[in-house]
Structure 1
């Protein structure tokens, strides 16, 4: 019920929930707020130990570091008087990471051996990654617990291939075709697949959120693929406007740099234009992330329970700008504090509504049967993707 993104002082909801008195006047229970009892200084001690041990073991300890990190954030996150927990086996995560390293190395070096080896590697990746991503979702969720019950993922294998195969091919095939058939029209045409990314991303969100489980209760998800793709349309239109303005600035800069005072003004304007271009791409990426996060979670609910997310672009951009600046100034040592601040922000801009009472709603959930949970296959891979 909380987003697992890469990761968060005590979380409050100044603008994400109705005041208790107002809710009472309306005859509905007050929205439930998430709380976080951790701190940046406390997490820093965990983070620095994780980092040192991961370096000393050449990355092997990173699986245990990931488990410790998730346990810290989950166990310090509270909703309605109960905390979350993560119970994943680090050895399962390690197996998944070793498999990922092998596949990544194979993709990177296969074409250096032969075109056939490269083609086989690409085929294996396109065929295997959708199954692995589904297993990763099942592992992560089945090991996330709340009030004595695990979450889960009910998405089928066939649906995983329908959702993930095309995005995976979109990112893998261009590089493979450049290696196999350079300077051919098909190489340029394959990049057109990127135009479908907004719909692909929307389909992945529908698959992920529409198959969430809590105990034996399955989530209801109301958003459609087209609706989830709308943030990309907004950024595309804004990009056209920005491109026109950017072109005007560049034209003025280059035309005034020929002679006279423009020799100084021109280069300065070009630098400003480049900085504005970077700023646009950063804002566009954050806008899509914030809007899709809000839409996806606000359209996710369990029987008797509705989740609401209300992140804001301006405040989230300010948060991340400060995080990046302080991380750079401290040579990376601020990173755990940044993670805590981000986690707090996400919790502070989410709440849960249960019109008929939260206790009654969660009491409806029971434990899934062993066959339905399918935790065995999930534990085998344990890739633990964040989303």
Structure 2
């Protein structure tokens, strides 16, 4: 399965690889302190925990000998979360009085989704910087409503066939509305590539479904034949034992399909992103990602969750180190953006920053 969409770059371009220098032991100390303080403060410290975590990962992400910075104020995050908690408490209180509130509440959240998506993108973008130049997000709630409400309503009418197109449009909306300094990112992937990814996944899921149905029918038929016309308890135990063998295999194949879609969509997104004359390139592999995810899962099970910091670092390291930027002169580009931002001023104060954590 080909999960990567390769891009050819100009002969004059230089490939700058991302590098991640964090390690599990360092992050474990941050993670365990975050958990303990969050418990002691009844969740209040979670905002500071999020900032510490993001700053660790941003600060250990290198591109062309420079790192990224996360600039969010934990108090702002805490305010957003308090708003979210207040909304949930009001919902819980009113629900006990009038049950009809429940569907209305979820309808309210559904309609609020575009606004939350735009605010979340804006918050994360304006609080991220590279070489002291901030990112930004300028998408509108109206645009987001079209991508996350209007088009998804067509899923049932099209029997799901529109899903690849929706995913393409949502990715394009996210990328095209992000900017670095005064320069917007551009998304140039083709929609047919999304249909190819989902088509391959559907074919494999269909094959697995047919295989599963055949195996279940065969096991049930064999057990029934062994027991005569009646299905006694011994026959049922035989069927259950057989299912215990086949179900993990089916889940493994489903996991492979899920990893394939995950990797393919990440490659499609990053290989389709450019900014000015600089083109991103992602070369994630399904086999490597599957190995990381399975071993991470095994580590989490064996250590009862304590392996989480190492799992998170391993995944971040692999994802970042398979990502690069093809640039003719990255230093000149970032310098020009710094000059333009200084001339036009910072628009961060105009953005209503919120991170409600839904």
TM-score interval for Structure 1 and Structure 2 normalised by the shorter chain: 0.7 to 0.9
Is contact 1:249–1:269 with CA below 8 Å preserved after alignment?
no
Could you tell me whether the CA contact under 8 Å between 1:202 and 1:226 is conserved in 2? no
Gaps of 5+ in 2: 228-233
Please tell me whether residue 364 in structure 1 is matched to residue 330 in structure 2: no
**Residues 1:193 and 1:259: Cα distance change in structure 2 (over 3 Å):** closer
Structure 1 pair 192/81, CA: closer, same or farther in 2 (3 Å)? same
Match of 2:303 in 1: 330
The equivalent position to 2:149 in structure 1, one of 158, 162, 165, is: 165
Q: Distance in 2 between matches of 1:307 and 1:281?
A: 30
> Deviation at 1:231?
2.1
- Number of residue pairs aligned between Structure 1 and Structure 2: 344
2:257 is the alignment partner of 1:273: no
Q: Is the contact between residue 299 and residue 307 of structure 2 (CA under 8 Å) also seen in structure 1?
A: yes
Q: What TM-score comes out, normalization by structure 2 length?
A: 0.85
User: 8 Å contact 2:282–2:324 — kept in the other structure?
Assistant: yes
Distance 2:222 2:94 in 1: 50
Cα deviation per residue 1:104-137 (whole Å; 9 max; x = unaligned)?
5666776554354234423422332211210110
1:352 counterpart (325, 330, 334): 325
**Given that residues 271 and 280 in structure 2 are in contact (C-alpha distance below 8 angstroms), is that contact kept between their aligned partners in structure 1?**
yes
Shift of the alpha carbon at 1:317? 0.8
Match for residue 83 of structure 2? 99
TM-score (norm 1): 0.79
Distance 2:199 2:141 in 1: 30
Match of 2:289 among 316, 330, 338: 316
Give the equivalent residue in structure 2 for 1:154.
Answer: 138
Secondary structure of the structure 2 residue equivalent to 1:219: strand
> Compared with structure 1, are the counterparts of its residues 117 and 260 closer, same or farther at alpha carbon in structure 2 (3 Å cutoff)?
closer
Map 1:28-39 onto structure 2 (within 5 A). 28-39=12-23
Q: Tell me the secondary structure at the aligned position of residue 189 of structure 2.
A: coil
Superposed CA RMSD in Å reads 3.2
Aligned to 2:111: 127
Structure 1 segment 70-89 matched on structure 2, within 5 A: 70-89=54-73
C-alpha deviation, 1:16, in angstroms: 12
Matched, 1:377 2:343: no
Report deviation, 1:93.
Answer: 1.4
Instruction: State the shift of 1:217 in Å.
Output: 0.3
Deviation readout 1:232-252 (Å, 9 max, x if unpaired) = 222111111111111111111
Q: Distance in 2 between matches of 1:109 and 1:376?
A: 35
Deviations 1:140-188 (A, max 9, x none): 0111110110011121221011112248879xxxxxxxxxxxxxxxxxx
| Correspondences of 1:169-180 after superposition (within 5 Å) | none
Q: Aligned-pair distance for 1:225? A: 4.6
Are residue 199 (structure 1) and residue 199 (structure 2) matched? no
Cα pair 2:259 2:290 within 8 Å, conserved: yes
How many angstroms apart in 1 are the aligned matches of 2:97 and 2:306?
41
* Structure 1 residues not aligned, in runs of 5+: 1-14, 171-188
Q: Is this contact kept in 1: 2:91–2:101, CA < 8 A?
A: no
Query: 1:31 aligns to what SS in structure 2?
Result: strand
